[in-house]
Amino acid sequence: MPSHAAVSDLLSALLLGILEGLTEFLPVSSTGHLLIAQHWLGARSDLFNIVIQAGAIIAITLVFRQRLWALATGLRERGNRLYLAKIAVAFLVTALVGLPVRLAGWELPETVSPVATALILGGLWMLVAERWAERRAPSSEITWTVAILVGLAQVVAGVFPGTSRSAAAIFMAMLAGTGQRSAATEFVFLVGIPTMFAASAYALLEHVMDGGAQPEAWGELGLAFVAAAVTGFIVVRWLLGYIKQHRYTVFAVYRILLGAALLLWLPAGG
């Protein structure tokens, strides 16, 4: 029979996978929530934290499978070719800017204080950005400028734990001209597919190149991966319906309250 410690580790991995699936696509920062949860559940490796995000991305692939199929089989249509090209541009901007940033080690410490601050500032940014975007003529167009800025927003989210990749990119798209929430959200989610799969592949490559110096609990990672995929699928289906009728205000307020609570009740270096 598995030991009590082994069962506890599996339960911890399951909870972290569910949390990843719940928060990856909501504009509340999955990375921030994972870091906060690991304050109590025990720290996990960068490989664990990145690869389970790919589990959530599988959920996006499944939810948008018809859209992806239509794009892949409709390459004769100029609109489809342009849309895919803009996804590619956003991804390439993220990769070409983000890789040197990662190699240079330019990121804030993954401790409570920076995460809490990013949650608060991100919440305020969401409130201002959505109000500003609503003053402009509604548009579902994804311009080249939007594609480039979405790529840069993803880099910023990687540098500042707690920012939220989806929030930074969605609201950047809305400010840059794609005022329709559903159109901006769909584009950002589709850009997330190659972005997060590439990040997971890079993390695995780093692990292999490092000779597995830090042993990974693959069973726990696999469990968290599956949990993130299942939970993420449910959350995405719900969110896509929610944003058709509602603003993102509730998520902005949640971020601000959570960030403030963390700054008040947890040690800054925790």
DSSP label of 2: -
210 vs 18, more confident: 18
**Distance between CA 96 and CA 2 in Å, rounded?**
45
Confidence label for 58 from pLDDT (cuts 50, 70 and 90): very high
Residue 269 has pLDDT above 50, yes or no: no
32 vs 120, more confident: 120
What is the full DSSP assignment across 201-246? HHHHHHHHHTTTSS---HHHHHHHHHHHHHHHHHHHHHHHHHTTT-
Instruction: Please check whether residue 204 lies inside any domain of the structure.
Output: yes
Among 12-16, 28-32, 59-63, which is the least confidently predicted range?
Answer: 28-32
Quote the pLDDT of residue 228: 94
66 vs 264, more confident: 66
Confidence label for 200 from pLDDT (cuts 50, 70 and 90): confident
Instruction: Please check whether residue 233 lies inside any domain of the structure.
Output: yes
Residue 163 has pLDDT above 90, yes or no: no
**CA atoms 230, 112, 8, 201: torsion sign:** positive
Summarize the confidence of residues 221-249 as an average pLDDT.
93
Instruction: Please check whether residue 10 lies inside any domain of the structure.
Output: yes
Quote the pLDDT of residue 268: 47
Separation in Å, CA 94 to CA 102, 158, 164, 184, 204: 11, 10, 15, 17, 18
Confidence label for 2 from pLDDT (cuts 50, 70 and 90): low
Quote the pLDDT of residue 139: 85
When the pLDDT of each residue in the chain is averaged and rounded to a whole number, the result is 87
54 vs 151, more confident: 151
Side-chain-facing half-sphere of 29: CA atoms under 13 Å: 35
DSSP label of 138: P
Instruction: Please check whether residue 270 lies inside any domain of the structure.
Output: no
- The rounded percent of the chain whose pLDDT value lies above 90 is 49
Instruction: Please check whether residue 40 lies inside any domain of the structure.
Output: yes
Instruction: Please check whether residue 207 lies inside any domain of the structure.
Output: yes
Instruction: Please check whether residue 80 lies inside any domain of the structure.
Output: yes
Quote the pLDDT of residue 254: 95
The pLDDT tens digits for 123-132 are: 998 999 888 8
256 vs 138, more confident: 256
The pLDDT tens digits for 74-117 are: 999 999 999 999 999 999 999 999 888 877 766 666 677 888 88
The pLDDT tens digits for 167-183 are: 899 999 998 888 888 99
**Tally of domains within the chain:** 1
User: Which tokens belong to 68?
Assistant: 């992806």
Summarize the confidence of residues 212-230 as an average pLDDT.
85
Instruction: Please check whether residue 179 lies inside any domain of the structure.
Output: yes
Domain residues for 156? 4-265
